[in-house]
């Protein structure tokens, strides 16, 4: 069955038909298509556009179709052009003329625009729940390591002391912003296109507000051309998903570094690592590497959406059929990555001794040494220079700021006294910045 027969005198070429078909991608929206069709039929009956009897028959049969598809009793016919064609064909097959009336006052343009919004709202809620679960795991691990000293880095060079808990909790804020971006995108797309028709509305006396409310939309899409040609929400969600992948990828990059012999800060659970086919000693962070790698796939989905939409005149164009492959893949990939990443983080083992040993080298308390001189009245730039000279002395003599004799300090700047040793203790450096709670026994 095709929804556009009548004008054409030839059957569609099989290759062209297969190329034109979108059912492989949009069949996952069968629930949304059925729900929207049921609401549409109820509205048509309520407005007197179709009979109450036909409206009830359509909604009843749609409910049956949904149950049969969910249970597997009925399978989607991938020979149909799209999921909308399949659902309408089944209704017509079972209800005759009543089934043919379901598409009254509707186009596939506003139909698919509605379905994809409904589907992406559900996907957004599902992903948000996964991100909240991830945030819960990060919070738990951060609390566990609130006093675990480690070096903080800039330029991948040891910079200043932090705690492992503080480092982990930085990602909590990133993922919270990601949740906010998803919510913002959903808020902007939460308007129902049904009633827009192909592009110019409909001559039937439909109740668009009724339809929007029944489907859970915040309101009605006001401009009918925009309603059917808008895919901003796909691009915006894909951008939000891409940023999530940036955050996951950065986190995974750090895990890959941290579990290397060169760092040795963490060890991944055996359930989230793999081995080598030839080197028996290897324990590879493949899960983290795959998450890092799949970021490129999601970025590609965003690029595909931007490219598809960038040159299209209003309103609908067949190019827009490509929106579903891209945005569905982006959601699938991100959800899969979060599902793999969350238990990997929950089960990793930190190595505080390794972190502390790394923090004890690299002069990451040098800024605190300079600040100590500032507290004695020396301008910061002079204090910075004096501390740099001390670091050079320590490097030459194989010492640290903690082990450098006081007379060496005084030779560089007479404002130094024995209090400097308390100032450069790593724990004190952290406490002064509030990175270790004041109640900590450390």
Model pLDDT, residue 13: 65
Residue 276: active-site member: yes
Distance CA 190, CA 211 (A): 13
Chain centroid, CA 345 distance in Å? 17
Look at residue 227 in the predicted model and tell me its pLDDT. Answer: 97
Q: Which of 51, 140, 276, 440 is catalytic?
A: 276
Buried (b) or exposed (e) across 209-227, using 16+ Cβ within 10 A?
A: ebbbebbebeebbeebbbb
pLDDT tens, the chain, 442 aa long? 556 455 555 676 677 666 767 899 999 999 999 999 999 999 999 999 999 999 999 999 999 999 999 999 999 999 999 999 999 999 999 999 999 999 999 999 999 999 999 999 999 999 999 999 999 999 999 999 999 999 999 999 999 999 999 999 999 999 999 999 999 999 999 999 999 999 999 999 999 999 999 999 999 999 999 999 999 999 999 999 999 999 999 999 999 999 999 999 999 999 999 998 999 999 999 999 999 999 999 999 999 999 999 999 999 999 999 999 999 999 999 999 999 999 999 999 999 999 999 999 999 999 999 999 999 999 999 999 999 999 999 999 999 999 999 999 999 999 999 999 999 999 999 999 998 876 554 4
User: Which tokens belong to 376?
Assistant: 């004695």
Query: Within a 10 A sphere around the Cβ of 314, how many other Cβ atoms?
Result: 12
DSSP class of residue 274 equals: B
Tokens of 275: 């081995």
Question: May I ask the CATH architecture of the domain 14-104?
Answer: Orthogonal Bundle (1.10)
The Cα–Cα gap between 168 and 134 comes to 12
pLDDT at site 442: 41
User: Could you tell me which CATH class the domain 366-424 is placed in?
Assistant: mainly alpha
Nearest-angstrom CA–CA distance, 388 and 406: 16
Rounded distance between C-alpha atoms, residue 85 and residue 77, angstroms: 10
Categorise residue 378: left if φ over 0, alpha if ψ from -120 to 50, beta otherwise: beta
Dihedrals phi, psi of 223, to nearest 5 degrees: -95, 120
* Cα–Cα distance, 161 to 175 (Å, whole number): 24
Catalytic one of 9, 71, 75, 155: 155
321 near 109, Cβ under 8 Å? no
Q: Domain extents for the chain?
A: 14-104, 109-204+218-357, 366-424
Q: What are phi and psi of 267, to 5 degrees?
A: -130, 130
pLDDT at 196: 97
SS3 string of 333-350? HHHHHHHHHHHHHHHCEE
The C-alpha atoms of residue 118 and residue 76 are separated, in whole angstroms, by 20
Q: Are 299 and 242 in contact (CB under 8 A)?
A: yes
Length of the chain: 442
Distances in Å between the alpha carbon of 394 and those of 44, 311, 362, 373, 414?
84, 62, 11, 18, 18
- Phi first, then psi, for residue 73 (nearest 5°) are -65, -35
pLDDT in tens, 22-76: 899 999 999 999 999 999 999 999 999 999 999 999 999 999 999 999 999 999 9
Strand blocks (E) in 202-353? 219-220, 266-267, 349-350
CATH number of the 109-204+218-357 domain: 1.20.200.10
DSSP letter, residue 321: G
37 is catalytic: no
| Residue 434: CB atoms within 10 Å | 9
Helices and strands (DSSP H and E) totals, the chain: 19, 6
Handedness of CA 19, 20, 24, 25 (dihedral sign): positive
Taking only the tens place, the pLDDT of each residue in 193-204 is 999 999 999 999
């Amino acid at each position: 069955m095709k929804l556009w027969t009548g004008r054409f005198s030839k059957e569609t070429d099989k290759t062209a038909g297969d190329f034109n078909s979108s059912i492989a991608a949009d069949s996952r929206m069968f629930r949304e298509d059925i729900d929207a069709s049921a609401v549409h039929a109820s509205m048509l009956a309520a407005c007197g556009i179709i009979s109450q009897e036909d409206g009830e028959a359509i909604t009843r049969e749609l409910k049956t179709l949904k149950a049969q598809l969910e249970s597997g009793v009925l399978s989607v016919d991938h020979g149909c052009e799209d999921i909308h064609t399949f659902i309408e064909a089944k209704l017509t097959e079972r209800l005759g003329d009543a089934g043919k009336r379901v598409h009254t006052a509707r186009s596939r343009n506003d139909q698919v625009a509605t379905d994809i919004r409904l589907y992406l709202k559900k996907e957004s809620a599902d992903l948000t729940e996964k991100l909240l679960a991830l945030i819960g795991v990060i919070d738990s691990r951060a609390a566990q390591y609130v006093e675990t000293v480690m070096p903080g880095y800039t330029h991948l060079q040891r910079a200043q002391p932090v705690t492992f808990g503080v480092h982990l909790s930085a990602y909590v804020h990133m993922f919270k912003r990601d949740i906010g971006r998803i919510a913002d995108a959903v808020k902007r797309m939460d308007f129902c296109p049904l009633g827009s028709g192909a592009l110019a509305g409909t001559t039937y006396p439909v109740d668009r507000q009724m339809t929007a409310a029944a489907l859970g939309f915040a309101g009605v899409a006001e401009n009918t051309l925009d309603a059917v040609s808008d895919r901003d929400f796909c691009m915006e969600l894909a951008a939000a998903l891409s940023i999530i992948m940036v955050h996951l990828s950065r986190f995974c990059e750090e895990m890959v570094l941290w579990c290397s012999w060169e760092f040795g800060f963490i060890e991944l659970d055996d359930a989230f690592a793999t081995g080598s086919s030839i080197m028996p000693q290897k324990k590879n962070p493949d899960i983290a590497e795959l998450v890092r790698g799949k970021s490129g796939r999601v970025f590609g989905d965003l690029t595909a959406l931007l490219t598809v939409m960038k040159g299209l005149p209003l309103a609908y164009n067949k190019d827009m059929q490509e929106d579903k492959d891209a945005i569905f893949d982006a959601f699938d990939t991100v959800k899969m990555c979060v599902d793999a990443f969350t238990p990997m983080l929950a089960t990793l083992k930190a190595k505080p001794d390794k972190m502390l040993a790394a923090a004890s080298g690299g002069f990451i308390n040098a800024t605190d040494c300079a600040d100590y001189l500032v507290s004695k009245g020396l301008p910061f730039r002079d204090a910075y220079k004096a501390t740099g000279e001390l670091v050079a002395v320590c490097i030459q003599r194989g010492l640290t700021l903690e082990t450098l004799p006081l007379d060496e300090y005084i030779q560089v700047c007479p404002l130094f006294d024995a209090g400097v040793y308390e100032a450069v203790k790593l724990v004190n450096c952290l406490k002064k910045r509030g990175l270790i709670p004041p109640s900590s026994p450390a």
